[in-house]
Amino acid sequence: MPSFRFHARDIRGEPHNGTVTAASVELLTAELRGRGLLVIDVEETVSETPERARMSSLNPFSWLPPTSFDVEMGFQQLATMLHSGLSLLAGLRMVAEQARRPRAARVWDDACNRIEEGSNFSNALAAHPKVFSGHVIQLIRVGEHAGTLDISLVRAAEHLERARNLRLLVLNALTYPTIVLLMAVGVAGFMVVSVVPKIQKFLGGAGRRLPAITQLLVDVSNTVMNYLPYFCLGFLSLSLALYFCYRWPPGRKFLDGVLLRIPVFGYILRLSGTAVFARGLSILLESGVTLLDSLTTVEKLIGNRVLSLRIASARHAVLRGGTFASALSGGRDFLPMLGRMIAVGESAGTLATVLADVARFHEAQLVVTIRRMSVLVEPVLILVVGGIVGFVYIAFFIAMFSLASGGR
pLDDT in tens, 344-401: 888 888 888 999 899 889 888 888 888 888 778 778 877 877 887 788 778 778 877 7
pLDDT of residue 188: 73
| CATH number for the domain running over 157-408 | 1.20.81.30
Q: How confident is the model at residue 51 (pLDDT cuts 50, 70, 90)?
A: very low
Is residue 156 within 8 A of residue 136, CB to CB? The reply is yes
DSSP symbol at 18: E
Whether 207 shows a pLDDT value over 70: the answer reads no
> Rounded CA gap, 40 and 301, in Å?
36
Between CA 382 and CA 281 the distance in angstroms is 41
Per-residue model confidence (pLDDT) at position 62 = 60
Say how far apart CA 384 and CA 48 lie, in whole Å: 58
The reported pLDDT for the residue numbered 53 is 44
For the chain, the maximum distance between any two Cα atoms, rounded to a whole number of angstroms, is 114
Q: How far apart are the first and last CA of the chain?
A: 102
Whole-model pTM: value is: 0.68
How far is the C-alpha of 146 from the C-alpha of 393, rounded, in Å? 71
3-state secondary structure 162-213: HHHHHHHHHHHHHHHHHHHHHHHHHHHHHHHHHHHHHHHHHHHCCCCCCCHH
Q: Report the SS3 class of residue 66.
A: coil
DSSP one-letter string for 67-91 = -HHHHHHHHHHHHHHHHTT--HHHH
Report, as an integer, the average pLDDT of 76-85: 86
Compute the half-sphere exposure of residue 242: CA atoms within 13 Å on the CB side of its CA. 10
| For residue 208, pLDDT beyond 70 | no
- Taking the C-alpha atoms of residue 402 and residue 408, their distance in angstroms, rounded to an integer, is 10
Average pLDDT over residues 26-32: 77
* pLDDT at res. 58: 52
> What H or E segment, with its residue span, contains residue 375?
helix 351-407
**What is the per-residue pLDDT for 233?**
92
Q: Are the C-beta atoms of 358 and 176 separated by less than 8 Å?
A: no
pLDDT > 80? residue 133: yes
Question: Quick one: pLDDT band at residue 49, thresholds 50, 70, 90?
Answer: very low
CA 136-305-122 angle, 5° bins: 15
Would you place residue 408 in the very low, low, confident or very high pLDDT band (cuts 50, 70, 90)? Answer: very low
Q: pLDDT-derived band of residue 47, with 50, 70 and 90 as boundaries?
A: very low
Paired residues of 86 in beta bridges: none
Rounded CA-CA distance 53/392 in Å is 58
- So where are the chain's domains? 1-47, 157-408
Q: Are 121 and 150 in contact (CB under 8 A)?
A: no
> In this model, does residue 240 exceed pLDDT 90?
yes
Instruction: Check whether 37 has a pLDDT greater than 60.
Output: yes
Whether residue 164 contacts residue 146, with contact meaning beta carbons closer than 8 Å, is answered with no
Q: Enumerate residues 6+ apart whose C-beta is below 8 A from 359.
A: 275, 278, 279, 282
C-beta separation of 96 from 108 below 8 A: yes
**Which pLDDT tens digit goes with each residue over 53-63?**
444 555 555 67
Most confident of 40-44, 184-188, 296-300: 296-300
Q: At what angle do helices 351-407 and 212-247 cross, to 10 degrees?
A: 150
Q: What SS3 class is residue 44?
A: strand
Q: Is 3 left (phi over 0), alpha (psi -120 to 50) or beta?
A: beta
Q: 19 pairs with which residues across the strands?
A: 5
Among residues 372, 373, 343, the alpha carbon closest in space to that of 358 is found at 343
